[in-house]
Amino acid sequence: MAAVAVVAVSCSKYKDKKGPAFTAANGDTTHYCNDATAANYNWGFPGIPDNTVCIYPADLYVGKYVFHDSVSLQSTGLPIFVDTFILTFHKINNSRLAVTGFCANGDSLFITAAPTFLASVDTTEGDSVTNWGQSLCGVADTINGSFVKDRVFDSLMYLSLQVASDTGVVTLHIGTAKKIQ
């Protein structure tokens, strides 16, 4: 009889007790972003929803950076040269940015940032087969690639770009950028 009672109790479904609501009335003063398009969506939850604390993907990148660029041939991996220059990221909207500093003629590179701390070069040239990216500096070259913000050191960014020249040579531009403003 005791064994049957133990089996019956062990097979019954557990019911979780509801805890107290976490609200400002209970002394909660934590505010969190409740916009799913933000990079800090739900950080600080539970608490008080407050979209004034939201950090949008483009906000992660805005500013001036010193970019240390290492250029190599994609075909062989042979290093060609290194360079250092200033990149400036200008916010267009919550997810899009214009980047100046790549082109001596002042042209901008357009990128789209995601809440995942990753931004990609917008594709404006090519087709579904080539999908190369966008025109670079007003010439026949195209650029494609990504910008990744460091989640721990917010002043650091990692760039991985590919430039396809009109002659068919593809160069890789790999480097880091450190925020200076």
Q: What is the pLDDT of residue 57?
A: 96
Per-residue pLDDT, averaged over 96-109, amounts to 92
pLDDT of residue 79: 94
- pLDDT at position 2, please? 61
The whole-number average pLDDT for the span 48-60 is 94
Tell whether the model's pLDDT for residue 127 goes beyond 60. Answer: no
pLDDT value at 3 more than 70: no
The residue written with tokens 């650091």 in the block is 156
Could you say which of 2.40.128.20, 2.60.120.10, 2.70.70.10, 3.40.50.2300 is the CATH number of the domain covering 58-179? 2.40.128.20
Q: Is 59 left (phi over 0), alpha (psi -120 to 50) or beta?
A: alpha
Across the range 112-123, mean pLDDT stands at 93
What is residue 139's predicted lDDT score, i.e. its pLDDT? 76
Q: Residue ranges per domain, the chain?
A: 18-55, 58-179
| Strand 31-32 to 48-49 pairing | parallel
pLDDT band at 166 (very low <50, low <70, confident <90, very high): confident
pLDDT band, very low/low/confident/very high, at 38 (cuts 50, 70, 90):
very high
Q: What is the pTM of this model?
A: 0.79
